[in-house]
Amino acid sequence: MLQSPISDFMALISAYFAEIWEFLIFIGRVSGVVIVLIGAILWFTDVNPGRGKGLVASGILLSIVVQYFVMYPPAFTIV
């Protein structure tokens, strides 16, 4: 009898983690695009080319890491 409420609670927590994960992936995708755009603006307008190149590189790296986690997400299931 005690197993069912615990299993339900763990399934609820797992569903919350999955929702939080999807939100973090969304934030990561938007951040990658914004960082690359800001870096490109800084780089191509010669305001701060060194900083712009760094922002473009870090935005691309962030997008690669986010895409990796999209392809291989953690398993939020109870075994």
- The full set of domain ranges for the chain reads 25-72
Distance between CA atoms of 69 and 55, rounded to whole angstroms? Answer: 21
CA distances 74 to 27, 51, 71, Å, are 17, 34, 10
What confidence score (pLDDT) does residue 40 get?
97
And the tokens for 30? 């938007």
State how far the Cα of 36 lies from the Cα of 59, in Å rounded to an integer: 5
DSSP-derived letter for residue 47 is S
Whole-structure pTM value: 0.81
Residue in 25, 26, 36, 29 with CA at minimum distance from that of residue 58: 36
For residue 1, the model assigns a pLDDT of: 46
pLDDT bin (cut points 50, 70, 90) of residue 76 is low
32-74 residue pLDDT tens: 999 999 999 999 999 999 999 999 999 999 999 999 999 998 8
pLDDT at 20 over 90: yes
